[in-house]
A and B are shown apart, each in its own frame.
Chain A
Amino acid sequence: MSLTHRTWAYLTRKWPQTVTLLGLMVAIFTLMATCWALHQTTTTVGANIKTALKPSLTVSAKQAPDGLTADMVARLAGFPGMTGAYELDTQSLVRYAGRDGQDLSLKPGEKLDPATLNGAEDLENGWEESGRLYAATNTAQDGSFSRGDLELTSGRMIDGEHQVLIHEDLARRNGLAVGDTITLRSVESDQPSVEARIVGLVTHHKKQSDQTPTMELYENRVFSDAVTGSELIFGQTAGRSLAQSGTFFVTDPDQIDDLMEQVNAVADSQAQPLRVTKDDSDYVNARDALTGMSQIVLIAQVVVVGVCFAVLALFLVFRQQHRLRETGVLLAMGQTKRSILAQRVAEVSLVAVVGWLLAWPISSLIAAGVGQRLLTSNAPSTVIGLADVTVVVTASTWGMVAIIGLPLCVAATIAAMVPTVRLKPKHILSHMS
C-alpha cells in the first residue's frame, strides 16, 4: 500500500473534500495571479509613461526680436538629459491673399475699440483685417486639435514645408479648395510674403463668444508648418532664426527640475530674454495615480497572500480534526508520522497544482476585466498610456505565483498537522473515541 496509492484513493474517493479544497486553491491562485498581474502592469506603465507622456521644457523667445536661433535650438536639443527631439512654434497675425493678389475676405468679428488698444497705429497696419497663423512642427499636437476644439474635415494634416490648413468657412467665402495656393504676409514684421499650399480644411466644435474679434475667430485661423512661420517672421535667410518658441523633450521626467535649472542658466545668459517653462503635468498626474495604484496593489498582494493561507491552514486544521482516527490507526499500524505527513503534503500539492493550472485562464479573464477597470478608474482618463494598457497574466507572473504559492501550501499543510504530530499515538487514539 504505497503512499501514492493512499493519496490517490483519498483524493478520488473523498472527492467532495477534494473539490472543496480545489475550489479554495483556484480562488487563492486566481487572487494571487490577478494581484501580481496588476502589480506588473503598474510597473510597466510606470516605465512607459516616462517617455509616452512626453515631458518637456518649453523655451520661449516671444519677447526676443530674433526668436530662437538655429544655434540655440541645436544647443538646447543637445543638452544631456534631452532626448534630442524638439518641436517649434511661431504665431503671427497674418493677411491672406489669393492667387490674384486680392486679400481674402474674412468672417467679420467684433469691431475693436481703438481706445482700448495699446497701439492704435497697429490698427492702421491692418490688424483688424488679419487672421492668426499657428505655425508648428507638429500641428496635430496643437491643443485645439488634441482637445477636439478643431477637427480636420478634408485633405490631410501638414507633412511638409509651405503647407497650410484653413477653415472651411474661409475656403467657402473665397472659393478655395484643397490644392490651391494662398499668399501669407505677417502684419507684425516687414518680411516679404510667403506662398503656401492648402493641404486640408478644418472646422471647429467649440463655440466662441460674440465679442471675439476678427483676428481671433476660428474661421480666420490658419495652421502651417514651422518653416512657413519662421520665414514670415524672420525672413528667408535660412539657418538664422527658426521660431518664437521651442519644446524640447526630456529623457527622464524625474530629472526635469535639474535640467530646467541648467536651461535657465543658459536662457539668463542671453542678451535677449528667453522664458523657460516645464510641462510634465501629464506625467506627474499619471505617476501620482500610478503610485497610489501600486500601493493599493502591493497592500492587496500582502493581504491576499496572508489571508488566503490563513484560511487554507484553518481549513486544513479543521479537516485534520476529522482525520484524527485515520492518523491514529495508521500510526498504530506502524506508519511513521513522517509518512502520514508526506501523504497530506502529496494530497494538498496535487490539488494545488491542478488549482494553479485552472486559475490561469480564470485569472487572465479577471485581470483583463476587473484589472483594467481598476487601473483606469484610479487614474485620470486623460492619461495616455493607461487607457490602452491591457492587464495580462504573463508566464513569469504565473511562475511567481507557483514559486510563492506552492511552498506556502506545503507550509500550511505542515502547520495544520503540527498539533497532531505533537501528540503521542495513544493520545490520538484516545482523543478520537
Chain B
Amino acid sequence: MIEVKNVVYAYDKGRAVLRGVSARFEPGKMYAILGPSGCGKTTLLSLLGGLDSPRSGQILCDGDDIEQTGLARHRRHNVAFIFQSYNLIDYLTPKENVALTATGDPRAVLERVGLTGAEAGRNVLKLSGGQQQRVAIARALASSAQIILADEPTGNLDEDTAEEIIAALKNCAHDLGKCVIIVTHSNQLARAADVVIRLSKGKTQIVERTGVMKHAGPEAGL
C-alpha cells in the first residue's frame, strides 16, 4: 500500500504544482488519476515512483517514508514504471528489456502479454507501438514491484490496441494483486479503473468510486 500525505511540490522557482495532495492506493486495484493537461499528474506519479522528493509532505510505502528508506531503493524494489512513449532500451531485445527488472524467465512474462518467442528476440524498434507497450508492461510485470505506475500508457495507441493494454493492466491489478496507478485523460481508461482520482488546481478534489469496490477508495484531499 502506498500513501501520499499532504504533498507539496514546485519546480525550481515556479509556482507550486501540487499543493497539499493526499491519497491512498491499495493492492489489487486499478486507479486512474484524471485531470486537465498541466495539472500535475505526471509530477504526482514521479513522486510516487521516487524520481524526486516533495517539498513537503510524505510518501509512505507500507508505512515507511520512502525518503527515509531511500528513493533508489524504492524505485528498485517497490515500483515499476510504464511510460507513454514506452521507453524501451533500444539496443536491448524485448527479452533483455524485461530481464532488466525480471527475476525469473522473461519469456513467460512476454508470453503473458501476448508476444511470441520470435518477437521477444527482435530489435525493439521493429515492433509496433502496441507491441512495444506490451513489452513495457511485461517489464513492469516481471519485476517484483507491487506498485505499477503508468503515465498515459495508451496515449500513443489506437482504440483497439488501447483496449487490450487496459485489459492487461486490469489483469495486473485483479489477477496478480498489484496496485496499478494510471495517469490519463482518457475516459476509456477511466471507465475501466476501480477508483478515479481527479486532480485539479494542485489538489485531489474529487474521488469517484466506480465498480463494486466502494469500500476501498483513497482519502479525499483537502
A333 touches B51 (CB 8 A): no
Once bound together, how far apart are the Cα atoms of A336 and B77, in whole Å?
Answer: 12
Once bound together, how far apart are the Cα atoms of A334 and B89, in whole Å?
Answer: 14
Kindly list chain A residues whose C-beta atoms are within 8 Å of the C-beta of B52.
424-427
B91 touches A331 (CB 8 A): no
Interface stretch (choices B93-101, B110-118, B162-170): B93-101
The answer to whether B209 has its CB under 8 Å from any CB of chain A is no
Q: Mark B8-52, 1 if CB is under 8 A from A, else 0.
A: 000000000000000000000000000000000010001001011
A333 touches B75 (CB 8 A): yes
Once bound together, how far apart are the Cα atoms of A5 and B92, in whole Å?
Answer: 10
| A322 nearest CB across to chain B (Å) | 10
Given known A329-B87, A426-B52, A429-B46, contact A334–B92 (CB-CB < 8 A): no
Given known A9-B91, A333-B81, A333-B100, contact A426–B72 (CB-CB < 8 A): no
| A380 nearest CB across to chain B (Å) | 57
Within 8 A of B (CB), among A1-21: 1, 5-6, 9-10, 13-14
Nearest chain A residue, comparing its CB with the CB of B123: A13
Most chain B CB within 10 A, of A9, A332, A335, A425, is at A332
B77 touches A334 (CB 8 A): yes
The answer to whether B76 has its CB under 8 Å from any CB of chain A is yes
Once bound together, how far apart are the Cα atoms of A118 and B215, in whole Å?
Answer: 138
Number of interface residues of B (CB under 8 A): 28
Once bound together, how far apart are the Cα atoms of A330 and B101, in whole Å?
Answer: 10
| A2 nearest CB across to chain B (Å) | 9
Kindly list chain B residues whose C-beta atoms are within 8 Å of the C-beta of A6.
92
Pick from B81, B88, B90, B92: contact of A332, CB below 8 A: B81
A425 touches B100 (CB 8 A): no
Within 8 A of B (CB), among A203-262: none
Q: Mark A182-199, 1 if CB is under 8 A from B, else 0.
A: 000000000000000000
| B102 nearest CB across to chain A (Å) | 8
Kindly list chain B residues whose C-beta atoms are within 8 Å of the C-beta of A334.
72-73, 75-77, 101
Nearest chain A residue, comparing its CB with the CB of B80: A333
Given known A1-B96, A5-B96, contact A329–B89 (CB-CB < 8 A): yes
| A116 nearest CB across to chain B (Å) | 96
Kindly list chain B residues whose C-beta atoms are within 8 Å of the C-beta of A427.
52
Given known A334-B76, A334-B77, contact A325–B46 (CB-CB < 8 A): no
| A13 nearest CB across to chain B (Å) | 4
B75 touches A331 (CB 8 A): yes
The answer to whether B205 has its CB under 8 Å from any CB of chain A is no
Kindly list chain B residues whose C-beta atoms are within 8 Å of the C-beta of A328.
87
Kindly list chain B residues whose C-beta atoms are within 8 Å of the C-beta of A332.
49, 51, 75, 81, 87
The answer to whether A159 has its CB under 8 Å from any CB of chain B is no
Kindly list chain B residues whose C-beta atoms are within 8 Å of the C-beta of A10.
91
Nearest chain A residue, comparing its CB with the CB of B72: A336
The answer to whether A161 has its CB under 8 Å from any CB of chain B is no
Nearest chain A residue, comparing its CB with the CB of B87: A329
The answer to whether B171 has its CB under 8 Å from any CB of chain A is no
Once bound together, how far apart are the Cα atoms of A336 and B74, in whole Å?
Answer: 11
Nearest chain A residue, comparing its CB with the CB of B93: A9
Once bound together, how far apart are the Cα atoms of A330 and B91, in whole Å?
Answer: 13
| A343 nearest CB across to chain B (Å) | 11
| A366 nearest CB across to chain B (Å) | 34
Kindly list chain B residues whose C-beta atoms are within 8 Å of the C-beta of A425.
46, 51-52, 71, 75
The answer to whether B85 has its CB under 8 Å from any CB of chain A is yes
The answer to whether A122 has its CB under 8 Å from any CB of chain B is no
Most chain B CB within 10 A, of A329, A430, A433, is at A329
Q: Mark A332-371, 1 if CB is under 8 A from B, else 0.
A: 1111100000000000000000000000000000000000
Given known A332-B75, A333-B101, A334-B72, contact A429–B96 (CB-CB < 8 A): no
The answer to whether A326 has its CB under 8 Å from any CB of chain B is yes
Once bound together, how far apart are the Cα atoms of A331 and B76, in whole Å?
Answer: 9
Pick from A5, A13, A329, A426: contact of B46, CB below 8 A: A426
- Other 15 A-B pairs with CB < 8 A, given A333-B76, A333-B139: A1-B92, A5-B96, A9-B91, A9-B92, A10-B91, A13-B91, A13-B123, A329-B87, A332-B51, A333-B100, A333-B101, A334-B72, A335-B76, A424-B51, A429-B46
24 examples of A-B residue contacts, CB within 8 angstroms:
A1-B92, A5-B96, A6-B92, A10-B91, A325-B87, A328-B87, A329-B81, A329-B83, A330-B100, A331-B75, A332-B49, A333-B80, A333-B101, A333-B139, A333-B143, A335-B76, A335-B100, A336-B72, A425-B52, A425-B71, A426-B46, A427-B52, A429-B83, A433-B85
Closest 10 CB pairs of A and B: A334-B76, A426-B52, A426-B51, A334-B75, A1-B99, A425-B51, A13-B91, A329-B87, A426-B46, A332-B81
